[in-house]
Amino acid sequence: MKNLINKVSIAFIVFIVFIVLGITIQYYFTPFIYIIILYILAMPIFNFFKKIIPNDNLSGALTLILINLTLFFIIFYLGSELFDIVKEILSKDLTNMDKFKEFILKFLKEGDVSSIDFDIIIKNKDWLQKGAKITTENIVSYVFSNIFVYFLLTDLEYIKESIKVILPKSFSKTFINTINKYKNIIFIEGFLVLITTIEYLLGFIILGIPKSLFLSLLCGILDLLPYVGTIIVFIPLIIYNIILKEYFIAIGLVLLYILAQIIREILETKYVGKNLELHPLLVLLSIYLGLKFLGIIGFVLGPLYVLFLKEINYNTT
């Protein structure tokens, strides 16, 4: 009974610590998400470079250069494809687009978009100033994140030793084990996103959907985002093909989406359960509650909290 009370007390204390940590990160450490994403992308590349280049500093620098160049080309490609799509729509007969707009408005019961006073929106300069400020802050955060990740890559062992010195021995062991297992969750999710993106690409090509590579990459990116997901790509595509009376393609898109989700759930159950001894439903619940409490930061800290509790329970048994 005493052991149970101790575990519950520790769980509550850790929960409070995670809440405070999440709020602090959310308001005072905006580069956090950039650091997580960059580190996830960097680790396998860095490990590869270490095998052929003995210098960790050079390997770290080459890793970040490669990642940033790749991200730049992906963003450039997506942007140019999106520009081409808009230009193609504007250069063609807009009858189908008008039908599409009317269908969406009727479905959502939003009324007529012509009632929106676009002059007021354009004349309002505040959104421009806020946009410029947010853009500047994000650029600074991204640059800082690159520097931070560089030191994480090159000095990781030193950082681990420092944690062992600062924290009690049992607690530092629990913390490091939790971080290592959390990295496994991230890599598994990354692997699943890659598989799903390939599935979407093949499906779009088979169905003859224009801009298949662009749409599959977009779906892959959206698959990483909580609450959003690939459904916001599929719904307009399905509705548009129904309006054009392309029922075979519309049904194919529905089946492609369902099939991709089923395969993802099967693989997630297999790999998450096998590697982490955690049911995927528990991971999903921790993500959902984390988002409810702390927004996008909770998306990262929620599963981390569950893994931390598991390690504490294991070490105090």
pLDDT in tens, 73-91: 888 888 888 777 766 655 6
> Over the chain, what is the mean pLDDT?
76
279 DSSP assignment: -
User: Has residue 176 been placed in a domain?
Assistant: yes
Same domain, yes or no, for 151 and 178? no
Same domain, yes or no, for 147 and 185? no
Same domain, yes or no, for 37 and 157? yes
Same domain, yes or no, for 194 and 228? yes
**Predicted structure pTM score:** 0.66
Question: What band does 132 get if pLDDT is binned at 50, 70 and 90?
Answer: low
Please report the pLDDT score of residue 205 as a whole number.
93
Please report the pLDDT score of residue 251 as a whole number.
92
- Mean pLDDT is lowest, of 44-48, 69-73, 116-120, for 116-120
Question: What band does 210 get if pLDDT is binned at 50, 70 and 90?
Answer: confident
- pLDDT of residue 301 exceeding 90, the answer is no
User: Has residue 7 been placed in a domain?
Assistant: no
What's the start-to-end Cα distance of the chain, in Å? 12
User: Has residue 317 been placed in a domain?
Assistant: no
d(CA 270, CA 264): 10
- Mean pLDDT is lowest, of 143-157, 203-217, 231-245, 270-284, for 270-284
Same domain, yes or no, for 156 and 180? no
Mark 199-215 as b/e (b = at least 16 C-beta within 10 Å).
bbbebbeebebeebebb
Model pLDDT for residues 211-235, shown as the tens digit of each residue: 888 889 888 888 876 556 788 888 8
User: Has residue 26 been placed in a domain?
Assistant: no
Question: What band does 31 get if pLDDT is binned at 50, 70 and 90?
Answer: confident
Average pLDDT of the residues in 85-110: 59
Mark 168-198 as b/e (b = at least 16 C-beta within 10 Å).
eeeebebbebbeebbeebbebbeebbeebbe
Q: Which residues are within 8 A (CB) of 87 and not within 5 positions of it... i.e. 6 or more apart?
A: none
Same domain, yes or no, for 125 and 159? yes
Question: What band does 116 get if pLDDT is binned at 50, 70 and 90?
Answer: very low
As a whole-number percent, the residues of the chain with pLDDT over 70 amount to 71
Please report the pLDDT score of residue 114 as a whole number.
47
User: Has residue 103 been placed in a domain?
Assistant: no
Question: What band does 199 get if pLDDT is binned at 50, 70 and 90?
Answer: very high
Please report the pLDDT score of residue 100 as a whole number.
57
Same domain, yes or no, for 150 and 44? yes
Same domain, yes or no, for 46 and 139? yes
Average pLDDT of the residues in 21-41: 79
User: Has residue 104 been placed in a domain?
Assistant: no
- pLDDT of residue 293 exceeding 90, the answer is no
User: Has residue 73 been placed in a domain?
Assistant: yes
Highest mean pLDDT among 131-140, 238-247, 266-275, 305-314: 238-247
d(CA 241, CA 247): 7
Same domain, yes or no, for 141 and 247? no
Same domain, yes or no, for 185 and 244? yes
Same domain, yes or no, for 78 and 149? yes
Highest mean pLDDT among 75-84, 205-214, 307-316: 205-214
User: Has residue 283 been placed in a domain?
Assistant: no
d(CA 197, CA 215): 9
- Mean pLDDT is lowest, of 83-92, 120-129, 177-186, 300-309, for 120-129
Q: How many domains does one find in the chain?
A: 2
Same domain, yes or no, for 157 and 177? no
Range of the domain at 229: 172-274
